Structure 1
Amino acid sequence: MRIDKFLKISRLIRRRMLAKQVADQGRITINDKVAKASSVVKEGDELAIRFGQKIVTVRIDQIKNTTKKEEAASLYTILKEEMLEKVEPEFMDDED
């Protein structure tokens, strides 16, 4: 199954078009390799998705073509959630 479709069905990302955009921006990896929206995922794959300043890593437990809202979370297991460190901009001092 394509990753953009899996993200929508699992409700990790609500819309397939948004999942495609996130993938095309290089913010998703499958087993530590940068994914495109058309990348194929299978059970056992690990996905890392960057949402703003947070990276969520999940393992795919099941692949289904459709699912109910209540069952969507059963398609994956969250392995970890990491906050990215904010990098403060460096300002140049004009003092001489």
Structure 2
Amino acid sequence: MRLDKFLKVSRLIKRRTLAKEVCDQGRVSVNGKPAKAGTNVAVGDEISIRFGQKTVTARVEAIRESVKKEDAGQMFTIVKEEPTVEEEQASSNL
């Protein structure tokens, strides 16, 4: 499954167009490598997404073409959440 579609179906990112934009900006990596929207994801892959002030890493647990809202959380497991590097540097400079 394409990365942008997985992000939308799993509801890690709400809209597919937004998921594509985030990928194009270089804020998403799969298994430690920068990923484009068309990158294929498989069960067991780790996806890191840089949001505003945090980076979220999730492991792909299932691939489904469509899923109900309440079942979307079963498609991934959050491995870690950490502040972005810029946020850590800003707080250490205070």
Both structures adopt the same fold (TM-score exceeding 0.5): yes
Structure showing greater radius of gyration is 1
Structure 1 runs not aligned, ≥5 long: 89-96
SS in 2 for 1:6: helix
- Separation in structure 2 between the aligned mates of residue 22 and residue 52 of structure 1, nearest angstrom: 11
Give unmatched runs, 5+ long, in structure 2: none
State the secondary structure of the residue aligned to 1:42: coil
Deviation at 1:52, TM superposition (A): 0.9
Count of paired positions: 88
Q: CA RMSD in A?
A: 0.9
The aligned amino acid for 1:50 is R
Normalised to the residue count of structure 1, the TM-score between the two structures is 0.88
What TM-score do the two structures reach when normalised by structure 2? Answer: 0.90
Say which SS state the counterpart of residue 58 (structure 1) adopts.
Answer: strand
- Larger relative helix fraction: 2
Post-superposition, which runs of at least 4 consecutive aligned residues in structure 1 deviate over 6 A? none
Aligned sequence identity (%): 57
CA deviation digits over 1:33-88, x for unaligned, max 9? 00000111000000000001100000000000000000000000000000124344
